[in-house]
């Protein structure tokens, strides 16, 4: 499929990859990098700045991946927080993958949603209606687009960070502060491409506001509320770990093995040894409705395992 774009005054000076991402919100910037792009018959650099009247021809390859709609399923009950003709808001369970991939062709969140309702096709065959993501083992509030108008509006909302996202995390460490702001660029690790890391140069800027909710000194554990001011991959997990407060049960960034030796509470020790998946929950999501403009706020209760963990800690 081939598409043609002529740059208008509004976008003059933007990087080419950012410009194309705005024009084609159904594709991520990383996907666009693999498209054939021509400007006056020459392949341009994606970092170049676009000028008024520039014309770009984009060749989009046919996607041969298995469509999510081919394997709709009802593997688990959906916790629907809100729904109308344009959006559906859910409380995502821990342990569920967002959409089909090489290692997860069935049982995904999108496939279960498609068994319940329709989603905007603008997200593509694999990710219909998807405008943001939560890691497999992060639970909490998510919004999906049902209409194309909602998809376009939500993509713009998330791109401009014009929303509120608050998370609850149980982490190692006893902070001596009530609140802190963590800033630091995040990039993919050069040692392990599956991990993200904080870098002094390069990467993408990231900011997380953190407030202390509870501290259990004997166990060396705290409960934190994290407010995302940007939305980078693994942002909270990377920021907290880099500043000495890795999230409990995080197999990637948690550094938990070195901490377990100090745990004297046998019930807590058993919980930490038997649970997998970071104790991180997307508690609050606030945004303006992408079609009506109405202010909306959703809050998802803590999952059972995090409530169990809190009960154990409160008994210390």
Q: Which residues are catalytic?
A: 135
Q: Which two tokens stand for residue 97?
A: 């993958």
Residue 81 DSSP SS3: strand
- H-helix segments, 107-248: 109-116, 148-159, 235-242
Q: Which two tokens stand for residue 200?
A: 């002094």
DSSP letter assigned to residue 280:
E
CB atoms within 10 A of CB 257: 8
C-alpha closest to that of 180 among 248, 226, 237: 226
DSSP letter assigned to residue 39:
B
DSSP letter assigned to residue 69:
G
* CA–CA separation, 209 and 167 (whole Å): 10
C-alpha closest to that of 65 among 117, 4, 109, 128: 128
C-alpha dihedral sign at 167, 184, 160, 233: negative
* CA–CA separation, 146 and 289 (whole Å): 12
């Amino acid at each position: 499929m081939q598409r043609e774009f002529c740059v208008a005054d509004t976008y003059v000076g933007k990087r080419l990859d950012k410009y194309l991402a705005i024009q084609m919100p159904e594709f991520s910037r990383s996907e666009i990098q693999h498209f054939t792009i021509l400007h006056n018959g020459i392949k341009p650099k994606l970092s170049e700045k676009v000028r008024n009247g520039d014309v770009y021809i984009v060749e989009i390859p046919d996607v041969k991946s298995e469509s999510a709609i081919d394997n709709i399923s009802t593997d688990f009950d959906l916790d629907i927080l809100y729904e109308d003709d344009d959006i559906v808001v859910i409380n995502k369970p821990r342990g569920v993958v967002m959409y089909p991939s090489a290692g997860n062709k069935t049982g995904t969140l999108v496939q279960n949603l498609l068994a319940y309702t329709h989603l905007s096709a603008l997200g593509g065959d694999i990710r219909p209606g998807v405008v943001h993501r939560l890691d497999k083992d992060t639970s909490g509030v998510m919004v999906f687009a049902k209409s194309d108008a909602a998809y376009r509006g939500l993509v713009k909302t998330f791109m401009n960070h014009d929303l509120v996202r608050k998370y609850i995390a149980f982490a190692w460490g006893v902070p001596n502060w009530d609140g802190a702001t963590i800033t630091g660029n995040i990039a993919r690790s050069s040692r392990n491409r599956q991990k993200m890391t904080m870098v002094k140069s390069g990467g993408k800027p990231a900011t997380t506001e953190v407030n202390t909710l509870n501290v259990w000194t004997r166990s060396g554990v705290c409960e934190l509320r994290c407010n995302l001011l940007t939305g980078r991959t693994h942002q909270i997990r990377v920021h907290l770990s880099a500043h000495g407060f890795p999230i409990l049960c995080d197999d990637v960034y948690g550094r938990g093995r070195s901490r377990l030796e100090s745990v004297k509470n046998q019930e807590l020790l058993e919980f930490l040894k038997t649970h997998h998946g970071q104790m991180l929950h997307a508690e609050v999501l606030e945004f303006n409705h992408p079609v009506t403009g109405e202010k909306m706020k959703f809050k998802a209760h803590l999952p059972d395992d995090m409530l169990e963990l809190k009960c154990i800690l409160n008994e210390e």
